[in-house]
A = this chain, B = another copy of it.
Amino acid sequence: MTQTLRLGIAGLGTVGAAVVGMVARRAEALAAATGQSVRVTAVSARDRGRDRGFDASGLDWFDDAVALAQSETIDVFVELIGGAEGTAKTAVEAAIAAGKHVVTANKALLARHGAALAAAAEAKGVVLAYEAAVAGGIPVIKAIREGLSGNAVSRVYGILNGTCNYILSRMEAEGLTFEACLKDAQALGYAEADPTFDVEGFDTAHKLAILTSLAFGIEIDADGVSVEGISAIQPLDLTMADELGYRIKLLGVAQATETGIEQRVHPTMVAKASAIAQVMGVTNAVTVDADAVGELTLIGPGAGGQATASAVVADIADIAAGLRRPTFGRPVAGLAAPRRVEMQRHEGGYYIRLTVHDRTGVAAGVATRMAEAGISIESIVQRRSAKAASTDPQGLSGQPVPLVLITYAATEGSVREALAAIDRDGLLAEAPQLIRIERD
């Protein structure tokens, strides 16, 4: 006689409705794979009347997610409400306290309260699973937690926000501005009316903080992520990137250094031939550098009802099959305290686009200041417009022109210092653009 694993789904938006449909559609396969019958038995949502495309008549309906979380009628509480505080948090805490396993897609909740929730789950002997919280349908949590058990991770980085990648892909392909592409993304439903959370990098930072904790075995530290979004990227940067052999992606990067784990989100130059550079549109990708496998890259859908539901259902199947792994790869007591690394200490290559006054000696002045800060230049591109070249062949007008530098590995502190000196010298017509380069 097969046992039944009873699911309570809190939140019946696109993802919740997809989970209900998927569990029903895959009932036979899930039972065969896990040895247990898996069924949605109860749901909660605010509006009972709305048509969600499935028959809810056989399900217990709760108006209150917390009551569902505590109900004797479920074994697994699936939290699809969202938000770091409020009902989502209260309900997850209640479910754990009541001895239920929890599956959540809530990255904000985990980024803020992951360690405390993991400790509570551990104390109760229940699973807290969150595959859907990072990179949507890509099974990256499973890959790191289980697939790379034999590895020490040295770096994990990825395209974790489809909205930003869609915007950057469009800007690059069509030479459009950030603002124009954002408007299209909003029209297509890829971006919210208030896009700040996505385009300024905060969504990526939440996901990165979760990956960092899991990959490096440290307590989650969302406030330790240095965050910079894509709103300042200009079409000229994408053109220059292309010419220099790069693409620009918003990456979340967590990297082991001698002084701690760097966690940073920023627009990034990646080599055009790298796997991650091929990832266009709303697709996500994660690359893990680890001592035994070298480099492992996973590419897939980062959002969408079906893809997110796929990750939720995978977590449910693991629970049904009896998988019991610690939330962040090891017991909470064994997670190391985070040691933050200041961005000033970050070392890497830089793309620096200066807007300088088109005068004799400017390039020399810039190069001198870079050299004084100990920065080696890999390439330098100064290009006057054809018009300027014909009307002002001697470069006497001092019109603003772009001067682009690619540096060899340098610290962020030294780059900032050199730029400040160049600014003091009066060479800059506009604030400089700085984009970090990530080597694969």
- A301 CA / B290 CA spacing, docked (Å): 11
Contact of A33 with B318 at beta-carbon distance under 8 Å, contacts A142-B147, A150-B313, A310-B151 already known = no
- Quick one: CB contact mask for A13-57 with B, threshold 8 Å, 1 for yes? 000001000110010011011110000000000000000000000
Task: Tell which of A151, A273, A324 has the most Cβ of chain B within 10 Å.
Answer: A151
A148 close to chain B: CB less than 8 A = yes
Q: Count identical subunits in the complex.
A: 2
Contacts of A322 in B (CB 8 A): 322-324
Q: Which of A195-203, A326-334, A378-386, A414-422 lies on the face that meets chain B?
A: A326-334
Contact B329 A149 (CB under 8 A): no
Structural contact, A296 and B293, CB atoms closer than 8 A = no
CA gap between A240 and B282 in the complex, in Å: 32
Chain B CB within 8 A of A279 CB: yes
Given known contacts A142-B146, A149-B317, A314-B147, is B33 in contact with A137 (CB within 8 Å)? no
A239 to B363 CA separation, bound complex (whole angstroms): 42
A34 to B32, CA, bound (A): 24
Residues in chain B near residue A307, CB distance under 8 A:
292-294
Q: Does A306 contact B (CB under 8 A)?
A: yes
Q: Give the contacting residue for A145; candidates B33, B279, B310, B311; CB below 8 A.
A: B33
Pair A314/B150 contact, Cβ less than 8 Å: yes
**Cβ of A139 < 8 Å from any Cβ of B?**
yes
Pick the contact of A279 from B151, B275, B334 — CB < 8 Å?
Answer: B275
Q: Is B330 within 8 A of A33, CB to CB?
A: yes
Q: How far is the CA of A326 from the CA of B35 in the complex (A)?
A: 9
A window 155-207: CB within 8 A of B:
none
B residues less than 8 Å from A139 (CB atoms): 142-143, 146-148, 296
Q: What is the predominant secondary structure among interface residues of chain A facing chain B?
A: mixed
Q: When the two chains form their complex, are residues A29 and B217 in contact, meaning their CB atoms are under 8 A apart?
A: yes
CA distance A311 to B322 in the complex (A): 21
Which residues of B lie under 8 Å from residue A150 when comparing CB positions?
Answer: 22-23, 26, 30, 309-310, 312-314, 317
- CB of A297 within 8 A of chain B? yes
CA distance A316 to B278 in the complex (A): 34
Report the bound CA distance from A195 to B298 in whole Å: 30
A312 to B292 CA separation, bound complex (whole angstroms)? 11
Instruction: Point out residues on A near B: beta carbons under 8 Å.
Output: 18, 22-23, 26, 29-30, 32-35, 131, 137-139, 142-143, 145-152, 217, 273-275, 278-279, 290-301, 306-307, 309-314, 316-318, 321-326, 329-331, 334
Which 3 pairs between the two chains have the least Cβ-Cβ distance?
A: A139-B147, A150-B313, A32-B330
25 A–B contacts, CB within 8 A, in A order:
A23-B150, A29-B217, A32-B329, A33-B330, A137-B294, A139-B142, A139-B147, A142-B142, A143-B298, A149-B316, A149-B317, A149-B318, A275-B275, A275-B279, A275-B299, A278-B278, A292-B310, A293-B300, A294-B307, A296-B300, A296-B301, A299-B299, A321-B323, A321-B325, A322-B322
Kindly list 18 other residue pairs between chains A and B, CB separation below 8 angstroms, not including A30-B150, A150-B314, A297-B298: A22-B292, A26-B151, A26-B152, A29-B149, A32-B331, A32-B334, A33-B330, A137-B293, A139-B146, A139-B147, A143-B143, A147-B314, A148-B314, A149-B318, A150-B313, A275-B279, A293-B301, A294-B300
